[in-house]
Amino acid sequence: MRRILIVKMSSMGDVLHTLPAITEAVRHIPELQFDWVVEKGFEQIPSWHPSVDKIIVASTREWRKSWYSSRAERRTFISELASREYDLVIDAQGLVKSAWIAHLAKGPVSGFSFFSVREPLAPCLYKKRFNVPAGHAVKRVRALLSLSLGYVLGDRVNDYGIDLGSAKVERVDSAPKTLLFLHGTTWASKHWPESHWIALAQRSDEADCTVWLPWWSDEEHQRCTRIAAACDAAVVLPCGDLNSMRKYISAADAVVAVDTGLAHMAAALTVPCVSIYGSTDSTRTGTWGANQQHVRARFPCSPCLARECNLLSDTVLQPPCYESCSADDVWRVLSKMLGLD
């Protein structure tokens, strides 16, 4: 057995984007066994892949906030990191913090070259560096693992290795289709206007579809409540963890999402998904896999890659690029995907 340590810590989408590379690596080299360093909050995702053995959880975000009081937790993490010898350590993140964590593990480290890494200081800590062309994150991680482990990339690019036959939540509604709306996201510039979500929920109701509304914060729960108040077909789901979201997404007939990590989960689970992109670039970080449709803003500055929209003012209260992604635009794509048109 060859034991490999993957360092891919965050974000949710980036962690999910690493799964196809592991599937492909094991297909070429069956004796591979992977351990994985991941940020706290995302540790359930690597456990979904059968070739991942040990998951080592880092809490770097919390450590930065309380550096002194987290000393014991950091020592435990470093001890766990060094508890195994690895044939290879692969930093698939390309950041200084991930490179340093890879450096602390027992084994030679490989990663992106100076010309293809996100933070140019990171490769200083690698033994082997590889030039990986710009492109979608899934392609880049696949390329890095193939170069690091010495095999030729194949054609099967969408296999996330997740057991798709696992239990789903039980649907009690009698609607012909159940849609799940992933309306929450981190950047303010990635939010699709709430009025658009309400209009899309009402269109779904007219087509006799049930709409599921998940939430992760008080702000998202309030948005869910307002959408549900405007549409009889909308149901506010209970707050859960990633495993429960996996079950809800798997049970849905289709998903509508902004640029959020959970949209990538839908792609990994091969659930039909319509994703909406305004400020971000779907060619680099869009959902990847079967049954994925992207609705892109048609606006001069899109994608701007800015966390906050620079065009907001006293009179412009939401990113204007999303006016080119109306509820009607999304419904046309969604209804065609589901055969409702």
Domain borders along the chain are 2-149, 177-338
| Distance, CA of 159 to CA of 168 (rounded, Å) | 20
| Distance, CA of 116 to CA of 94 (rounded, Å) | 9
Q: Using one digit for the tens of pLDDT, what is the confidence trace for 114-134?
A: 999 989 999 999 999 999 999
For the chain, the 3-state helix, strand and coil shares in percent, each to the nearest 5, are 40, 20, 45
Q: What is the pLDDT of residue 76?
A: 96
**Domain 2-149, CATH homologous superfamily name and number:** Glycogen Phosphorylase B; (3.40.50.2000)
Assign 172 a pLDDT band (cuts: 50, 70, 90).
Answer: low
| Distance, CA of 222 to CA of 228 (rounded, Å) | 10
Assign 317 a pLDDT band (cuts: 50, 70, 90).
Answer: confident
Assign 167 a pLDDT band (cuts: 50, 70, 90).
Answer: low
Cis peptide before 11 (omega within 30 of 0): yes
Residue 52 predicted with pLDDT over 90: yes
Q: Taking Cα atoms as reference points, which of 208, 2, 5, 218 lies closest to residue 92?
A: 5
Q: From start to end of 183-242, where are the E strands?
A: 209-213, 234-236
Q: Using one digit for the tens of pLDDT, what is the confidence trace for 293-314?
A: 999 999 999 999 999 999 988 7
Q: What is the pLDDT of residue 248?
A: 95
Q: What is the pLDDT of residue 157?
A: 72
**Domain 177-338, CATH homologous superfamily name and number:** Glycogen Phosphorylase B; (3.40.50.2000)
pLDDT (mean) for 215-228: 97
Q: What is the pLDDT of residue 155?
A: 77
Q: What is the pLDDT of residue 30?
A: 97
Assign 164 a pLDDT band (cuts: 50, 70, 90).
Answer: confident
Sheet of 88-91: strand order equals 52-58, 32-39, 2-7, 88-91, 109-112, 128-130
H or E, element range at 276: strand 273-277
Q: What is the pLDDT of residue 315?
A: 79
Query: Where is pLDDT greater, at 212 or 318?
Result: 212
Interhelix angle 261-268/242-251, nearest 10 degrees: 60
pLDDT (mean) for 31-59: 97
Average pLDDT, the chain: 94
pLDDT (mean) for 169-188: 84
177-338 matches 2-149 in CATH topology: yes
Assign 102 a pLDDT band (cuts: 50, 70, 90).
Answer: very high
